[in-house]
Structure 1
Amino acid sequence: MTARTRLLDTSVAQAMSTLSAAAKRGLGDPALAELVVIRASQLNHCAFCLDMHLRIAREHGVPERQLDLLAAWEEAEGVFDERERAALALTEAMTVLTGGTSQAFGSGGGFVPDAVYESAPKHFDDTELAHLIGLVVAINNWNRVMVSRRVPPGGHTP
């Protein structure tokens, strides 16, 4: 293990783990949580997180068809329900903060388009939405740590 691949200081890693666990618990749907973290990890090119969360998603019963088509969820009509699509649109908007657009919901100004953000409360109550946002924040943090430290896939042990 090189200096780059060593994990964060224990207190930082523990804080990030606590946020991740709390966000997943509060969202209340482990399969949806895994779709969200996998999609963010795809966008961030985090092989470590993809490897780990694809395994977890399968354990939670996420259908292979959803995992296969997740990268093209906007085009995969009938594969993802409206709640999943709203969560994925918000995940993409929060993860890629440069364009401010989403094919599924169009542009709405700013980095997270109004249409994307306003769609989420139609499918999530205030508590679930807060936890969804927390989950996207958490996985983006983890992706950035693992990618910047070049942590290879396969190192996660449940």
Structure 2
Amino acid sequence: MSKRIQLTAALPAAARNIVALHQTVEKAAADAGLDQRLIELVKIRASQLNGCAYCVDQHSRDARKLGESERRLYLLSAWRETDLFSEQERAALELTEAMTRLSHTQDVPDEVYQQATKVFTEEQYVAVAWAATVINAFNRLGVTSHKPLPADPK
């Protein structure tokens, strides 16, 4: 893989702002009563779709630290084919996929929106949608920069 300019390092003020946005969204999710593991699943799934190895690695490790099972992480890309994910998680993953694929779909289908607003409060829905938005921004920076993986922490 070719070495590229690291966009976050090249414009640290912007990087600090996106990190601050991330922290705001994380607090909103916590304040809305969302399980942090659900938010990590959102981050991982969007990162899988965007092909961001750095973010898949980071958020999989973060999810494991929060107690997420390896089995669910292994099966996340095939979540529709299992009964391992709750109704809220399924709605969050469906919303995340729709938002991540906007360049193809041009919309979040009404049924996806309706299912998400059925299982989430307004505050929770907002937090999930913002979490998907922020991780998509991070993915675009990481993929464009070919952000290298950190050393294996073992």
State how 1:75-154 maps to structure 2 within 5 Å: 75-76=81-82, 78-100=83-105, 111-154=107-150
Moved more, 115-124 or 32-41: 115-124
| Alignment partner of 1:42 is 2:48 | yes
Q: Is the partner of 2:54 in helix, strand or coil?
A: helix
What's the offset of the Cα at 1:7? 2.2
Quick check: 1:41–1:139 contact (8 Å CA) kept in 2? yes
Moved more, 17-26 or 53-62: 17-26
What's the offset of the Cα at 1:98? 3.9
CA root-mean-square deviation: 1.9
For normalisation by structure 2, the TM-score amounts to 0.87
What's the offset of the Cα at 1:156? 10
Regions of 4+ moved over 6 Å: none
Quick check: 2:40–2:62 contact (8 Å CA) kept in 1? yes
Which segments of 5 or more consecutive residues in structure 2 lack a partner in the other structure?
none
Q: Which residue of 1 aligns with 2:24?
A: 22
Q: Which residue of 2 aligns with 1:7?
A: 8
* Counterpart AA for 1:134: W
Q: Distance in 1 between matches of 2:49 and 2:67?
A: 23
Q: Which residue of 2 aligns with 1:103?
A: none
Quick check: 1:65–1:79 contact (8 Å CA) kept in 2? no
Give the fraction of aligned pairs with identical amino acids, expressed as a percent: 40
Structure in which a larger fraction of residues adopt helix: 2
Which segments of 5 or more consecutive residues in structure 1 lack a partner in the other structure?
101-109
Q: From 72, 75, 89, give the equivalent of 1:69.
A: 75
What's the offset of the Cα at 1:5? 2.5
Quick check: 1:19–1:134 contact (8 Å CA) kept in 2? no
